[in-house]
Amino acid sequence: MKKEEVLRLDAAHVWHPCTQQKDHELLPPLPIARGDGVYLVDYDGNRIIDGVSSWWVNLFGHNHPRLNRALTEQTGKIAHHIFAGFTHQPAAELAARLCELAPPGLTKVFFADNGSAAVEVALKMSFQYWQQVGVRQKTRFVSLTDAYHGETLGALSVGGCDLYRSIYRPILLEGFQVQGPDCFRCPYQKQRESCNAECIEQMERLLLQEHEQIAGVIIEPLIQGAAGMRVYPPVYLRKLRELCTRCDVHYIADEIAVGFGRTGRLFANEHAGTTPDLLCLSKGITGGYMPLAVTLTSEEIYRAFYDDYATMKAFLHSHSYSGNPLACAIAVEVLRIFEEEQILQLLTPRMNQLQAAAPRFTALAQVGEFRRCGMVAAVELVQDRNGKIPYPWQERRGLAVYREALARGALLRPLGNVVYFMPPLTINADELDSLLDIAYQAIVAVTEK
């Protein structure tokens, strides 16, 4: 099919995610013909560096020989079968390996097929646990301002980004929201490198006062992604873990975006030495190949569901594609690649290279902050640097950066006024240089207007 025909059919019938469709009148979606390492290749052969890992999923580049092979091999056996009453090697192997690699104490793995579903599973498990151990008034969840946990109604209920959520408020679950860490505009005038997570005080107060009705606290560890890659220190996680234990509340970690090496460790909680009660993973789990998600939990939570059928304690949540064998086979291969190709050990020079770009960006008058955690970095554009005043959202500076960068051969997809980098972990030095260069030029083009 020719590019024009793809575009014609798309315009006639496709409704894209996270998009005002009318924007396509100005900038139609770009048909991609194939992928090659960190590049997306369009129908005219133009190569675009995937600076956002295609919505944070891709780990080792597109069209990866080992992942292709894992997929083909599994396809030759079986693509999918029911996962209730049946099992298969890739799921069993993946679950065992994840439990070995995850923070200690997580021993059980529940499968779903996207990040939002993993969050729904965690919330439902937490709620049902308290019901089944007889603490029935624990029915509410605590989340952070500007949090993002997905877009199904349960996940949206614990979200804090008004952009995605405000219109649905009348149909969302009621919970508690507390101020999340905001190190760039720290209300305590601290530095993220040296603070003691003073900003947890609101959380502490709430948990101490209301713990009797709180089932769990859900957060994105170390980086609040959709909030604009807000980076905060591990001490926050340590304090939160202590508080949750003290108040008998589940600590639910959503590592859907930050898991699988993004922070420089396999899991973000490793930086703090913390084990959540429930851990949600997705995105990178298949290196960006197939939809798959898991929720890991402890023996203690699992045991509260384990009983004779007639007690009606089973966790009855299910998805048709639970434990999909193709996705699990790829995920097993992803973990092998991490180990055999020493992916995490080789990240240090790339993380240093990202960090070394900081002075170049912060020298620009319209850059308020350059922040980084592992292989994720962000440049926050501001109208006025001294007052840290954001550009009005209506100006859509981020969209302008997107267009400038795309014309120069890079996919950046800013979050509001925040231009961020979350490239595949295997991006090489030259590719990362090009990405940073293009971003710099795009920012200059957009802020000098």
Least distance between ligand PMP and beta carbon 113 (Å): 9
Neighbours of 330 (CB within 10 A): 27
Comparing CB distances to ligand PMP, the nearer of 115 and 154 is: 115
Least distance between ligand PMP and beta carbon 317 (Å): 15
Separation between Cα atoms, residue 154 and residue 194, nearest integer Å: 35
Query: Which tokens go with 394?
Result: 């209506």
Least distance between ligand PMP and beta carbon 223 (Å): 9
Least distance between ligand PMP and beta carbon 352 (Å): 25
Comparing CB distances to ligand PMP, the nearer of 106 and 226 is: 226
Which of 80, 91, 124, 57 has the alpha carbon at shortest distance from 290?
A: 57
Told to check if 150 binds ligand PMP by CB under 6 A, we report: yes
Report helix, strand or coil for 263.
coil
Least distance between ligand PMP and beta carbon 222 (Å): 11
Report helix, strand or coil for 216.
strand
Which of 292, 328, 319 has the alpha carbon at shortest distance from 89?
A: 328
Pick one of 142, 256, 294, 401: the residue that binds ligand PMP (CB under 6 A): 256
| 186-141-303 Cα angle (round to 5) | 125
Positions 274 through 313 that interact with ligand PMP (CB under 6 A): 282
Pick one of 127, 129, 148, 420: the residue that binds ligand PMP (CB under 6 A): 148
Separation between Cα atoms, residue 104 and residue 116, nearest integer Å: 24
Comparing CB distances to ligand PMP, the nearer of 18 and 312 is: 18
Neighbours of 348 (CB within 10 A): 10
Least distance between ligand PMP and beta carbon 224 (Å): 8
Comparing CB distances to ligand PMP, the nearer of 88 and 413 is: 413
Radius of gyration of the chain (CA): 22
Comparing CB distances to ligand PMP, the nearer of 281 and 382 is: 281
**Segment interacting with ligand PMP (CB under 6 A) among 80-88, 206-214, 252-260, 325-333:** 252-260
Pick one of 70, 109, 144, 257: the residue that binds ligand PMP (CB under 6 A): 257
Residue 268 contacts by C-beta under 8 Å, 6 or more apart in sequence?
A: 221, 222, 223, 237, 253, 255, 258, 259, 262
Comparing CB distances to ligand PMP, the nearer of 122 and 357 is: 122
Least distance between ligand PMP and beta carbon 258 (Å): 7
Neighbours of 31 (CB within 10 A): 16
Least distance between ligand PMP and beta carbon 216 (Å): 15
Separation between Cα atoms, residue 72 and residue 66, nearest integer Å: 10
Positions 380 through 419 that interact with ligand PMP (CB under 6 A): none
Pick one of 254, 277, 369, 431: the residue that binds ligand PMP (CB under 6 A): 254
Give the DSSP letter string of 406-436.
HHHTEE---BTTEEEE---TT--HHHHHHHH
Which of 337, 425, 333 has the alpha carbon at shortest distance from 69?
A: 333
Positions 109 through 128 that interact with ligand PMP (CB under 6 A): 114-116, 119
Positions 212 through 231 that interact with ligand PMP (CB under 6 A): 220, 225-226
Comparing CB distances to ligand PMP, the nearer of 254 and 380 is: 254
Separation between Cα atoms, residue 125 and residue 108, nearest integer Å: 12
Comparing CB distances to ligand PMP, the nearer of 220 and 431 is: 220
Comparing CB distances to ligand PMP, the nearer of 178 and 357 is: 178
Instruction: Please identify the residue of the shown chain whose CB is closest to the bound ligand PMP.
Output: 115
Least distance between ligand PMP and beta carbon 217 (Å): 15
Positions 85 through 114 that interact with ligand PMP (CB under 6 A): 114
Comparing CB distances to ligand PMP, the nearer of 113 and 333 is: 113
Give the DSSP letter string of 36-76.
EBTEEEETT--EEEETTHHHHT-SS-BS-HHHHHHHHHHHT
Please report, for residues 128, 232, 391, the alpha-carbon distance to residue 383 in angstroms, rounded to integers and kept in the order given: 47, 23, 5
Give the DSSP letter string of 307-351.
S-GGG--S-----TTTT-HHHHHHHHHHHHHHHHTTTTGGGHHHH
Least distance between ligand PMP and beta carbon 5 (Å): 29
Least distance between ligand PMP and beta carbon 434 (Å): 25
Kindly state the number of chain residues that form the binding site for ligand PMP, as judged by CB under 6 A. Answer: 14
Report helix, strand or coil for 6.
helix
Comparing CB distances to ligand PMP, the nearer of 382 and 415 is: 415
Residues that bind ligand PMP in the complex, under the rule CB under 6 A: 114-116, 119, 148-150, 220, 225-226, 254, 256-257, 282
